[in-house]
Amino acid sequence: MLLAGGCGFHVRGEATVPPEMARTYIAADSKYSVFYRKLSNALRASGVDVVDAPGEATAIFTILADSTGQRVVSVSARNVPREYEVWYAVQYELISGEKTLMPPTSQTLTRDYTYDETQVLGKAREEEVLRDSLVDNLVRITMIQLSAL
């Protein structure tokens, strides 16, 4: 334990955001996307007042793109899909007044899973869980980037 503390290792606590983000408006095409909801919750947990109108905000976090999907990675000899890749991609920027705190930034994460046509319902649920995990990781990456500003 002493060695871990001596090398500069610290347990990561709540993300701290720049003071310009005290009152932040999140601009997005869809306020119902999983990324929007989880980012909004993470910002609130960090002490940010997420406001409903851009006129009330000290900073505007704009989600420029938010998309997800899946693609076939491999097929069997009978041309049946055996492995899929689930992906989630976001692009965002942060502006405070006339100052760009974070230029447009893109993040894409992927996960693979095997497919078995005899377990369709289970594999559909697995895809949902993987997609949810991707969003959690994207929000975590975004919060780390914001705390580094």
Res 121: pLDDT = 67
Res 124: pLDDT = 79
Res 142: pLDDT = 96
CA distance 98 to 90: 23
* Confidence (pTM): 0.84
Look at phi and psi of residue 94 and say left if phi exceeds 0, alpha if psi is from -120 to 50, else beta.
beta
Report how many helices (DSSP H) and strands (DSSP E) the chain contains, helices first: 3, 5
- Tens of pLDDT along 72-86? 888 888 888 889 899
Q: Which helix (H) or strand (E) holds 135?
A: helix 120-147
What 3-state class would DSSP assign to 39? helix
Using N-to-C axis directions, what is the helix angle for 120-147 and 34-45, rounded to 10°?
A: 40
For the chain, give every domain's residue range: 14-147
Res 21: pLDDT = 95
Are the beta carbons of 96 and 144 closer than 8 angstroms?
Answer: no
Res 132: pLDDT = 95
Q: What are the residue ranges in the chain where pLDDT is below 50?
A: none
Res 113: pLDDT = 85
What 3-state class would DSSP assign to 99? strand
Res 8: pLDDT = 56
- The CATH number of the structural domain formed by 14-147 is 3.30.160.150
Res 120: pLDDT = 64
